[in-house]
Amino acid sequence: MRTPDFSGLWRLNPAKSQLTGLGVSKIGMNIEHDEPRFVQEVKTASVDGSISLGRFAGNTSGQEFSNHVQAPTMVSTAAWIDNELVIESRVEGGGKTSAHFRDHWSLSDDGTELSMEHRDDDIAGQLTVLERVTETHGA
């Protein structure tokens, strides 16, 4: 089985997404995916006009990796289940877990849509659908 390649520039499709309580108006994402490694760089615009930037790097080997998201540490594992990448993370601070996420990434058959779905975690029901950016001026 060949695994999907999430590499590319992506932009939020708000009509197809269900963003729970985030107050987000725009998301632009650049993903570099060279199996088993991936790097996700995200630019988010909130409805209040604020902009945030984030970077999340990991691997699909099932081994634990860490990222610093602002002040807390996010400890994650990522592994393939069929054609879906499941990234499980816990946010740790002060010696305890403050949040748990299980993000299911999948590509449409034609590779133009990336779905990031939270089915069974602290933000269950959230679905982020991104469209591949093909024009040269980016996300």
Question: Is 3 inside a domain boundary?
Answer: no
pLDDT of residue 139: 47
Nearest of 107, 118, 78 to residue 2 by alpha carbon: 107
Whether 90 is covered by a domain: the verdict is: yes
3-state helix, strand, coil in the chain (%, to 5): 0, 60, 40
The residues near 94 (Cβ < 8 Å, ≥ 6 apart) are none
pTM value is 0.89
Q: Within a domain: residue 2? A: no
CA distance 38 to 77: 12
Backbone dihedral angles phi then psi of residue 128, each to the nearest 5 degrees? -110, 120
Q: How many domains does the chain have?
A: 1
H or E segment to which residue 89 belongs: strand 84-93
pLDDT in tens for each of the 139 residues of the chain? 689 999 999 999 999 999 987 688 999 999 999 999 999 999 999 989 899 999 999 999 999 999 986 667 899 999 999 999 999 999 977 777 789 999 999 999 999 999 999 999 999 999 999 999 986 554 4
| Cα separation, 131 vs 139, whole angstroms | 10
In a domain, 1, yes or no: no
Query: Is 138 a member of any domain?
Result: no
- Is 106 within the bounds of a domain? yes
Query: Whole domain around residue 16: which residue ranges?
Result: 8-132
pLDDT at position 12 = 97
The CATH number linked to 25 is 2.40.128.20
